[in-house]
Amino acid sequence: MTPTVLALGLSQTLAWGSTYYLPAVLAGDIARDTGVSSATVFAVFSLALLVSGPLGPWAGRHIDRLGGRALLMGTNVVFALGLVLLSQAHSLWGLLLAWGVLGLAMGCGLYDAAFATLVRLHGERARNGITGITLMAGLASTVGWPLSTWMAGHWGWQGACLGWAALHLLLGLPLNASIPRAPALPDSDALPVCAPGAPAQPVLKDPAAIRAAMWRLGLAFAVAWFTVTAMASHLPRLLQDHGLTLAAAVGLGALLGPSQVAGRLLEMGWLRRWHPQVAARLASLGHPLGALALWLGGGALAPLFVALHGLGAGMLTIAKGALPLALFGPHGYGARLGVIMLPSRFAQGAAPWLFGLALDAWSGAAIGLTALLGWVVVACLWTLPRPPH
């Protein structure tokens, strides 16, 4: 693992742990002290995801031209500012301001920006590095939840936010500063999103075929990330609705992170010899097959469901970075990835609320909704143009 991949992986672990995984631990305390409900805290967090969405294409174009070092360093400062504002929030308006600032940082400082930074430095050789980044950041919840709990226990939730802000300045900023500078390119070299491009051996070169594939990838990843976020928010409740006790559901849910890491290790090992499209196709089957097992076997097959869902989700995280690189090449990669993942940001923001409504209406049968959505992902990824032999 190169120093650049190590730096990006550690900084991504920090970024995810201090934002995406923060409300799960601190929402109750934040709600109590700001006078709002826990549901409102999660709703404000969803708004932050919506704020982050439109920034993806802009951040990608910026990285295509100038590299990602300076931008990622800037997001550490904005992350820290948002966390300081969150620590000082005493009302709904304070929460909205703080999570709005954090949404700006998330839009420019999470996986998409890290992947684009690596591709800008290493071009078509970035696939293994993308896997390495996701392998480390896949442990963000494993590290972030206990650390947030420890800081909140010793310093209160406000102190936990300030602790995360300090880590961004004292750890994240130096890590991103260690990333090599990429030479600036003129606008003409940062190819537009649907240009036929100049990578060495992309699968797609025709602009119409590129547009069609981008639409298909955008739909596939939006649907997939809706399901991933819904499961991250509601998995214990879903398992309880299938007959598990609360303790069993929480214990089984803890296997989700290791299952995702196992999927990434599988991609890094055996599947590395194959085109990324092969891994993406296999990954797309994880959730629908697991959901079918849960539907048919109930709680008895819940471990199989969690394992298959986690394996698929872990591999799809790599696929969202590696598959566009393989299909379209490295030129204009950041802008393309930003456009492809834009619908996913909105799907992530809506998922906790919408799937919560589905659980209220249908109880455990709501798994049928994500199973159907899973087959949409399968259809999109299995009908992409086939890679060379």
pLDDT score of 9: 94
115: Cβ–Cβ under 8 A, 6 or more apart, which residues? 126, 130, 133, 320, 321, 337
Q: Residue 369's domain spans which residues?
A: 207-382
CA 376/CA 389 separation, integer angstroms: 25
Residues in Cβ contact with 292 at an 8 Å cutoff, skipping those fewer than 6 apart = 371
Could you please report the per-residue DSSP string of 82-114?
HHHHHHT--SHHHHHHHHHHHHHHHHHHSHHHH
- The three-state secondary structure class of 344 is helix
Same domain for 105 and 214:
no
Is residue 221 domain-shared with residue 303, that is, in the same domain?
Answer: yes
Per-residue b or e along 52-78, where b marks 16 or more CB atoms closer than 10 Å to that residue's CB: bbebbbebbbbbbbbbbbbbbbebbeb
Q: How confident is the model at residue 105 (pLDDT cuts 50, 70, 90)?
A: very high
Amino acid 275: pLDDT: 84
Segment 370-377 mean pLDDT: 97
- Which residue is it, tokens 């298959």? 308
Whether 144 maps to a domain, the answer reads yes
Q: For the chain, what is the domain count?
A: 2
* Structural domain contains residue 196: no
Whether residue 48 is contained in a domain is answered as: yes
Together in a domain, 264 and 370: yes
- Whether residue 223 is found in the same domain as residue 183: no
On whether both 216 and 179 belong to a single domain, the answer is no
Running DSSP on this structure, what letter comes out for residue 69?
H
Whose structure tokens read 């143009």?
385
Distances (CA, A) of 230 to 49, 99, 200, 221, 353: 14, 20, 38, 14, 8
Instruction: Please indicate, yes or no, whether residues 249 and 347 belong to a single structural domain of this protein.
Output: yes
Contact (CB, 8 A) for 115 and 134 = no
State mean pLDDT over 277-294: 95
How far is the CA of 349 from the CAs of 50, 52, 96, 283, 344, in angstroms?
6, 10, 15, 23, 9
Q: For residue 264, is pLDDT > 80?
A: yes
Domain end marker among 160, 188, 216: 188
Distance CA 23, CA 19 (A): 8
- Residues 41 and 126 grouped into a single domain: yes
For residue 57, what are the contacts with CB-CB under 8 A and spacing of at least 6?
335, 338, 339, 342
pLDDT for 381 beyond 90: yes
> Which one of 36-40, 77-81, 248-252 scores highest in mean pLDDT?
77-81
CA distance 113 to 11: 12
Tokens 């589905």 belong to residue:
358
Domain-ending residue, one of 188, 219, 246: 188
- Shared domain for 86 and 231, answered yes or no, is no
pLDDT at 237: 83
199 within a domain of the structure (yes/no): no
Q: Does the structure show a pLDDT above 90 at 91?
A: yes
Q: How far apart are CA 183 and CA 269, in angstroms?
A: 32
Considering only CA atoms, which of 233, 186, 174 is closest in space to residue 353?
233
Which of 23 and 291 is assigned the larger pLDDT? 291
Q: Is the pTM of this model over 0.75?
A: yes
Domain co-membership, 77 together with 110:
yes
Q: Is residue 193 part of a domain?
A: no
Q: Which of 138, 158, 188 is the C-terminal boundary of a domain?
A: 188
Is residue 194 a part of any domain in this protein? no
E-assigned strands of the chain?
none
- 3-state secondary structure at position 371: helix
Name the helix (H) or strand (E) containing 224: helix 207-241
Residues 144 and 261 in one domain: no
Q: Using an 8 Å Cβ cutoff, are 79 and 15 in contact?
A: yes
Is the pLDDT score of 29 beyond 80? yes
Q: Are residues 95 and 61 in the same domain?
A: yes
The closest alpha carbon to 132, from 268, 270, 321, belongs to 268
Please give the angle made by the CA atoms of 55, 60 and 62, to the nearest 5 degrees: 95
Let me know if residue 195 belongs to a domain.
no
CATH classification at residue 70? 1.20.1250.20
Selection from 94, 361, 370 nearest residue 230 by Cα: 370
State what percent of residues in the chain have pLDDT above 90.
Answer: 56
Query: What distance in Å separates the CA atoms of residue 114 and residue 117, rounded to the nearest whole number?
Result: 5
Same domain, 24 and 146: yes
Residue 24 CB partners (closer than 8 Å, separation 6+): 145
In this predicted model, which residue has the larger pLDDT, 325 or 251? 325
Contact 52, 107 (CB under 8 A): yes
Lowest mean pLDDT segment, chosen from 10-19, 145-154, 170-179, 202-211: 202-211
pLDDT tens profile 36-67: 988 788 889 888 988 888 898 999 999 999 99
Q: Is the pLDDT of residue 201 over 70?
A: no
202 within domain boundaries: no
Joined tokens for residue 127? 């696939």
